[in-house]
Amino acid sequence: MENLLMIMMIIGALGVLSQWIAWRTRLPAIVVMAIVGLLAGPVFGIINPEADLGDLYGPLISIAVGIILFEGSLNLDFREIKGMRKPVFRIVTVGAFLAWIFGSLAAHYVAGLSWAVAFVIGGIFIVTGPTVILPLLRQAKLKPRAAAILKWEGIVVDPFGALLAVFSFEFIKFLTIETVTFDAVIMFLLASILAGIIGAAFGYGIGWSFERGLVPEFLKSPVVLVTVIMAFALSDFIMHETGLLAVTVMGMTIANMHISAISDMRHFKENISILLISVIFIMLTASLDRETLLSIFDLNIMLFIIMMLFVIRPLTIFLSTMGTNLEFREKLLVGWIAPRGIVALTVSAYFANVLIDAGFQDAEILTSLTFGLVFGTVLAHGFSIGWLSRKLGLSTDTKDGVLFVGSNKFSANFAKALQDLGVPVIITDASSSRLTHATKAEVPYEHEEILSEQMEYQLDMTPYDYMLSVTEFDSYNTLVSSTFKPEYGKEHLFQLPLQTNEGDQLSEVSHHISGTVLFDGQVTWTSLNEKINDGFIFEKAPITESYTYDDFLNDRSEEDVILAIVKQSGSVNFFTPENNLTAEPGDQIISLAKPE
């Protein structure tokens, strides 16, 4: 037991460490996790999760994949693909079918597999999945259309890859094994339909009970988690690999019921999914043996991977999206990005054993073939998605962007000063009259309530790394900070200091629910706007070798307010009472300064 606990501790620590390294170095997280897993497993032999965990290994991975798939499907709101339903539908239906056929042909003629094994593995390889797609989308900052297509394909097609493999295997047994009847194939189809019904029923039940207050707030996340496991296990008990379909349908059902508690569910499940993705990837890569790792470099396997990357994937996307409103550059990006991940690894490992037991000895290379494709696509797509999306104009600006909540003289002119230095900015406000300040300053704005449900589909927040809540209402600023803290984190979420003599006088508000207080902690919405009325201007002071940060501090007036430093790299650092910022040559300091 002590050894088992130690192994689980090491796996968890390596998974979280991999995510942290990826965050610090801005490398693709899945690439870092793959490297760390290989170093801990086949290279140095520190752990071998498959052997160490024994019978727990398979069920743990299956349940984790089910939870990850459910978390991804919670984001599949049909409002997100308004105007893109045709290309998305084509890709997840016609595209998936073509990928299965072409992949099977390549597996037979290039990898040298028998027809039976080729069609099983061809079904598995249509999947991409949220475990690999979602981290890449977060890293690359893709524009909404391209991101939505890749996300929907990855999540919707994921369970169908496993189902296609099961269907192929059942049909092959019907054709080659005399004892297997056509009834087995029919039973598989009925079990798949039943899994969909189970998922929809569980999802509707969750949504219905939550909306009617039958479940208290503190129990909602645990109830959802247990229900996901129940739906997955029940469907998988009826027919192996149908559990993935059940949890996907369950998540989509809840997402499109538009229940008020869905945002809390997403935050909870997203945190769990990040941990599970990290742990599972470490487990799978660390369980490889050196022979399997070396066999990836077999000529037939490498040729098959090249075919999948450069021929089959682009061909299926271009054929399936003919006659849709998808732009050529979008087809090009989607036709290149298709990394395989955890579902492909787990399902192929299962079928490798099943096919060998059924007498198909060439299935021995399935593990090597799958790991080769996973590593090949993860490395190729992980390192190229950012570069290619920027070249095609399908990614947002790589510089740190700033989203201002509240339009007034201060926010509009501050946004203009940042924009002049190349920082992407936008102002949101529900009042058209207040937005006249943004119009006069000639900065982008969105006429929408930031807390409304529609805002999620109205405005792409991906380009904006920082949110500044700068309205005159302390309570509203705090509410905005509390609402967006799960997405931004307190270090990227700012609000003006509380007003002591005006407004709501929330002097006792907990710092746990508020954003980081801006500037010196004393200036308020009123004082900032009064300074502008008194003629104070936004100055941009460049720091050089001859004009240092100390020189700037000596030159400023006591009434000036230092606001931010725009670094030479393009990142933005805001002054707060807690931090002690300094500027270096090449940086620019923005301040609200008294005119000379």
Sheet containing 588-593, strands listed edge to edge, beginning at the edge strand earlier in sequence: 537-542, 588-593, 561-566, 572-574
Q: Is residue 276 part of a domain?
A: no
Which residues, including other chains, have CB under 8 Å from residue 45's CB and lie 6 or more apart? Answer: none
Q: What is the DSSP letter of 97?
A: H
What tokens appear for 195 in the block? 């899994």
Residue 174's pLDDT is: 65
Q: Mark which of 391, 417, 449 sits at the end of a domain.
A: 391
Provide the 8-state DSSP code for 142.
B
The answer on 409 and 384 residing in a single domain is no
| Half-sphere exposure in the Cβ direction for 268 (13 Å, CA) | 15
Q: Which residue blocks in 337-365 are alpha helix, DSSP H?
A: 342-357
Residue 441 shares a structural domain with residue 318 = no
Same domain, 120 and 238: yes
**CA dihedral over 162, 164, 170, 173, signed as positive or negative:** negative
Residue 52 lies in a domain: no
Instruction: Please report, as a single letter, which amino acid is at residue 543.
Output: I
Count up the domains in the chain and report the number.
Answer: 2
Q: How far is residue 241 from each of residues 50, 72, 74, 166, measured CA to CA in Å?
A: 20, 18, 20, 7
Q: How confident is the model at residue 312, as a pLDDT?
A: 93
CATH of the domain at 524: 3.40.50.720
Q: Are 103 and 247 found together in one domain?
A: yes
Same domain, 64 and 189: yes
Q: Are both 411 and 557 inside the same structural domain?
A: yes
Which DSSP string corresponds to 175-224?
HH-TT--HHHHHHHHHHHHHHHHHHHHHHHHHHHHHHTT-S-HHHHHHHH
CATH of the domain at 64: 1.20.1530
Give the pLDDT of residue 189. Answer: 79
The residue among 391, 419, 443 that closes a domain is: 391
321 to each of 17, 143, 157, 317, 568, how far by Cα in Å?
40, 19, 16, 6, 42
- For residue 341, is it within any domain? yes
The pLDDT of residue 317: 92
Does residue 449 share a domain with residue 368? no
Residue 182 pLDDT: 67
Residue 278 covered by a domain: no
Question: Model confidence over 467-520: pLDDT tens digits?
Answer: 999 888 888 888 888 888 877 777 888 888 876 554 444 445 545 556 788 887
Does 264 map to a domain? no
* Stretches in the chain below the pLDDT threshold 50: 502-507, 510
Same domain membership, residue 448 and residue 489: yes
In the prediction, which pLDDT does 385 show? 86
Whole-angstrom distance, CA of residue 406 vs CA of residue 133: 34
Q: Which domain holds residue 210?
A: 59-256+300-391
Q: What is the pTM of this model?
A: 0.66
462 and 385 housed in the same domain: no
Residues 418 and 522 grouped into a single domain: yes
Q: How far apart are CA 337 and CA 279, in angstroms?
A: 24
**Residues 378, 471 within the same domain:** no
HSE (side-chain half, CA atoms, 13 Å) at 456: 17
Could you tell me what percentage of the chain is helix, strand and coil, using 3-state DSSP and rounding each to the nearest 5? 65, 10, 30
DSSP code of residue 463: T
In a domain? residue 353 = yes
- pLDDT at site 265: 64
pLDDT at 181: 62
For residue 503, the model assigns a pLDDT of 46
**Residue 339 belongs to a domain:** yes
Distances (CA, A) of 154 to 66, 73, 133: 14, 10, 7
Q: For residue 207, how far is the Cα from the chain centroid? A: 24
> Which residues are CB-contacts of 90 (< 8 A; sequence separation ≥ 6)?
320, 321, 324
Q: Does 269 reside within a domain?
A: no
Concatenated DSSP letters of 260-316: TTHHHHHHHHHHHHHHHHHHHHHHHHHT--HHHHHHTT-HHHHHHHHHIIIIIHHHH
Per-residue pLDDT at 535? 87
Out of 391, 424, 445, a domain closes at 391
Q: Tell me: do 373 and 445 sit in the same domain.
A: no
pLDDT, tens only, 45-93: 888 888 888 888 878 877 887 887 787 777 777 766 666 778 888 888 8
